[in-house]
Amino acid sequence: MTNLEKYNQVFMEHFEISAEELPGLKYRSYAKWDSMAHMELCSILEETFDIALETIDILAFSTYEKGMEIMRKYGVSM
């Protein structure tokens, strides 16, 4: 499984959505992506990719696409 597939799977399982719903997904614009779900998402991504996100990156993680950008910063190729 590629990193992108793992990343997508985390989002789809965590938010119970399909792959078609991922593009454009934004924090707080989707009912299930609230502050608690955001912290859980970041924790799952850290565990999945064996990284430790910095607070500034957790705060900047505002969309599905921005998350991919942040993951690249930690050496996770997408």
> pLDDT tens digits for 32-54?
999 999 999 999 999 999 999 99
The Cα–Cα gap between 36 and 54 comes to: 17
Q: What is the reported pLDDT for 40?
A: 98
Q: What is the reported pLDDT for 30?
A: 87
Q: What is the reported pLDDT for 59?
A: 97
Q: What is the reported pLDDT for 75?
A: 97
Q: Which residues of the chain have pLDDT under 70?
A: none
Which among 59, 56, 69 has a CA at the least distance from the CA of 39? 59
The Cα–Cα gap between 29 and 21 comes to: 13
pTM, entire model: 0.94
3-class secondary structure, 75: coil
